[in-house]
Amino acid sequence: MLNWNDVLRRANQGNPEPGPRVVRSEAEWRARLTPEEYHVTREKGTERAFSSELCHLFEPGRYACVCCDTLLFDAREKFDSGTGWPSFTQPIEEDAIASHSDLSYGMRRIETTCNTCDAHLGHVFPDGPPPGGLRYCMNALALRKRKEE
């Protein structure tokens, strides 16, 4: 189970090596994604708070990266953070998500990306529920919900 110290260590010292990488050109990403998905995942955009039904969806299932279909989160780790974005306590696998220091907008945050294709997902914060205390605050546009397999 990851905790805040693990997240900070990764952001400062490097992330685990992913499995096979998915690399595409800008034109290929644009052809595969909607303009909104492209903006969020490839240009580090943020969707409007409370703009997605995924905030209130708590059915069983798993969530994959919209860009490369890598599994990222299990619905059992999803919780209602009240922030307006889907939130999770842990990634499905410890190497699924990469952490990066983000100093944009005059803030110090930890950006999360898909460790397979580098898609921007959102940010992680140390104010989640126990036992890990993490809140992975994700853009719903970066995720694709899969049915329970």
Tokens in use for 133? Answer: 């205390």
CA-CA-CA-CA torsion sign (99, 21, 89, 135): positive
In the chain, the largest separation of any two C-alpha atoms, in whole Å, equals 42
Please tell me which residue in 55, 67, 114, 137 is annotated as part of the active site. Answer: 137
Distance separating alpha carbons of residues 74 and 92, to the nearest angstrom: 6
CA-CA-CA-CA torsion sign (107, 8, 82, 93): positive
Catalytic residue at 137? yes
Nearest to 37 by CA among 146, 144, 145: 144
Catalytic residue list = 137
